[in-house]
Amino acid sequence: MNIYLPIAAMDINVLWLACAGIAVGFVQGLLGSGGFLLTPILIMMGVSPAVAAASGINAIAGASVSGTFAHLKAGSVDVRMGLLMLVGGISGGALGTDIVRMLRAVGNLDLVILACYVIFMGVIGVTVFVEGLASHVQGEPQARVESRLQRMLQRLPLQMRFRVSGVETSALTPFLLGGFVGILAALMGVGGGFILIPAMAYLLGMPMRVVVGTSLFQMLFTAGSVTLMQAATNHTVDVALAGILLVGSALGAQLGARAAQRLRAAQLKVVFSVLVLAMAVKMLNGLLTTPAALLMELGGR
C-alpha cells in the first residue's frame, strides 16, 4: 500500500513506514532513547537525507507536545532554564538551517548528514555496548572530566540561580547547550535529549524529574521552530512522512515500555548497540563506495 509524498516527490509503502515508526518508538519505550534513529531509518528507506532530517524533526516536535504539557502542569519544568535553552536552540537552529542551505547549494549536504550520523551512531553504539557489558563498573576518568567541566562553567560570567532546579550556573550554560542541540536539530533532525539529559543531570546536578521535563520543553519548542525554519528556507519538511511516523512511534513506545518490564536491560543494550553500529557501518560504506554516477542532482525541484 503506497502513498505519494508531495514534498519528498516519491511514493513510499505506508506499512513499512509505520513499521519504521513502531521500531523507533519501541526502542524509545524500551531504553528511553531512540528518536535519533528516525532520520537514518528514513534515509535507508530511500528518502533524501535533507527531507529525512527535516521531517524527522517535525515528528519529534509532534511527539513532545503532550509530554511537555503534562510536565508543565506537574511543575517539573525549569521554565527559566528552558527559555534560555530555547533562545540558544532557536539561534543554533537558524544557524543550522543556513548551513543546510549552503551545503545543499554546494551539493555536499548528503555527505555531511551521513558523516555526522556515522560518527554519532558509532559513538552511541560503542558507549551503549560497553555500558551493557559492564553496567556495574563506574567510570573513574569520566568523573574527572566532569568536574573539570564543572569548574569551567563556574568561571563563566552571568552566574544566576535556577530556583526550580535548585542549581546555580551561568546563563550561558543553558544557552550554549541549547545552541549546540539546535544546530544538530537542523542538520541531523535529532531532538537532542541524549546530550541535554546527561548534561543537566551530571554536569549541572539537576533532579531527574526536572531534567526530563525541561529537556522535553526545550525539545518541543526547538524542534517546532527548526521545522518552521526548514519549511521556510529549504522546503524539505514532508508532513505526511512525519504524521505516519508519529502514529507508528506512539504505538511502538507503548509496546516498548511494556516489553521493558519483562526483558533484561543489559542484554537489550548490547543488542541495540550492535544494531546501531551495523547502521553506522552501512552508512560509512555508502560514503566510501564509488557512486553509480559521477553526477548528482542538486537540491529538490
For residues 200 and 211, the answer to whether their CB atoms sit within 8 Å is yes
For residues 61 and 224, the answer to whether their CB atoms sit within 8 Å is yes
- Which three three-digit cell numbers place residue 186? 537542523
Q: Of the two residues 41 and 169, which places its CB atom closer to other proteins in the complex?
A: 41
Count how many residues are written for the chain.
Answer: 301
Q: Is 193 in the site for other proteins (CB under 8 A)?
A: yes
Q: What is the number of alpha carbons within 13 Å of residue 259 lying toward its C-beta?
A: 17
Q: Cα dihedral sign for 175, 178, 184, 187?
A: negative
Q: Is 262 in the site for other proteins (CB under 8 A)?
A: no
Please identify which residue in 53, 216, 276, 283 interacts with other proteins, judged by CB under 8 A.
Answer: 216
Q: Is 22 in the site for other proteins (CB under 8 A)?
A: no
Q: Is 101 in the site for other proteins (CB under 8 A)?
A: no
Q: Is 74 in the site for other proteins (CB under 8 A)?
A: yes
Q: Of the two residues 137 and 292, which places its CB atom closer to other proteins in the complex?
A: 292
| CA atoms of 198 and 176, how far apart (whole Å) | 15
Q: Is 287 in the site for other proteins (CB under 8 A)?
A: yes
Q: Of the two residues 48 and 165, which places its CB atom closer to other proteins in the complex?
A: 48
Site for other proteins, residues 54 to 73, rule: CB under 8 A: 58-68, 70-71, 73
Q: Of the two residues 170 and 225, which places its CB atom closer to other proteins in the complex?
A: 225
CA distances from 215 to 60, 108, 177, 199, 258 (A): 13, 31, 11, 10, 23
Q: Is 38 in the site for other proteins (CB under 8 A)?
A: yes
Q: Is 20 in the site for other proteins (CB under 8 A)?
A: no
Please identify which residue in 47, 100, 113, 253 interacts with other proteins, judged by CB under 8 A.
Answer: 253
Q: Is 99 in the site for other proteins (CB under 8 A)?
A: no
Q: Of the two residues 169 and 220, which places its CB atom closer to other proteins in the complex?
A: 220
258 residue type, one letter: R
Closest separation in Å from C-beta 222 to other proteins: 12
Q: Of the two residues 115 and 203, which places its CB atom closer to other proteins in the complex?
A: 115
Q: Cα dihedral sign for 297, 283, 40, 103?
A: negative
Q: Residue 12 forms beta bridges with which residues?
A: 3
- Cα 144 from chain centroid (whole Å): 27
CA distances from 134 to 27, 35, 125, 139, 266 (A): 20, 24, 14, 10, 8
CB burial string 206-234: b at 16+ within 10 A, e below: bbeebbbbbbbbbbbbbbbbbbbbbbebb
Please identify which residue in 220, 268, 276, 279 interacts with other proteins, judged by CB under 8 A.
Answer: 220
Q: Of the two residues 153 and 201, which places its CB atom closer to other proteins in the complex?
A: 201
Site for other proteins, residues 113 to 132, rule: CB under 8 A: 115
The 144-183 contact track toward other proteins, x by CB under 8 A, reads ----------------------------------------
Q: Is 45 in the site for other proteins (CB under 8 A)?
A: no
